[in-house]
Amino acid sequence: VLQMLHTLLIVNDGGLVVFYKSWIPLDQEVEKELKRIGQVFKTVVEQSVQSTKCVPMYIEFAKLAASLVFNPEVKVLCILLHDIEDGSEFGQLLTMEISRHFIAEFNDYGFNHAQVDSYNSFHQKLP
């Protein structure tokens, strides 16, 4: 069984997906929906923090999983959608490393820009 990554979303404090990468082919409608789901994940994280004081790190759906890393200092949420078979530890490790590198690269620039093209150079850092 081939385990694989599906989609990476990086969401800023306003719920805007500032970076998006898909490793699987998607039509434009699915891509638009995935970009909108960034706000949903941000809301889930906010509600979890308010009610439990914890940030969800891993969510399993019917056919895939989501690993989440939230950086409270810069208020950036990194979401990696991947195969369930990859497991929570592997998904979390990848998500933490991607988040760390993204924040290090763009921290001076900031994360609340509407010009999401400003982050496109990060595509070169990913396979």
Summarize pLDDT for 27-63 with one digit per residue, the tens. 888 888 888 888 899 999 999 999 999 999 999 999 8
CA separation for the pair 21, 108 (Å, rounded): 22
Residue 114, pLDDT score:
62
The pLDDT tens digits for 15-31 are 889 999 999 888 888 88
Cα→Cα distances 18→24, 59, 83, 95, 116, Å = 19, 21, 23, 16, 5
pLDDT classification of 111: cutoffs 50, 70, 90: confident
pLDDT higher at 115 or 36: 36
- 71 and 103 in contact (C-beta within 8 Å)? yes
**Better-predicted residue by pLDDT, 41 or 118:** 41
Among 99, 105, 60, which residue's Cα sits nearest to residue 76? 99
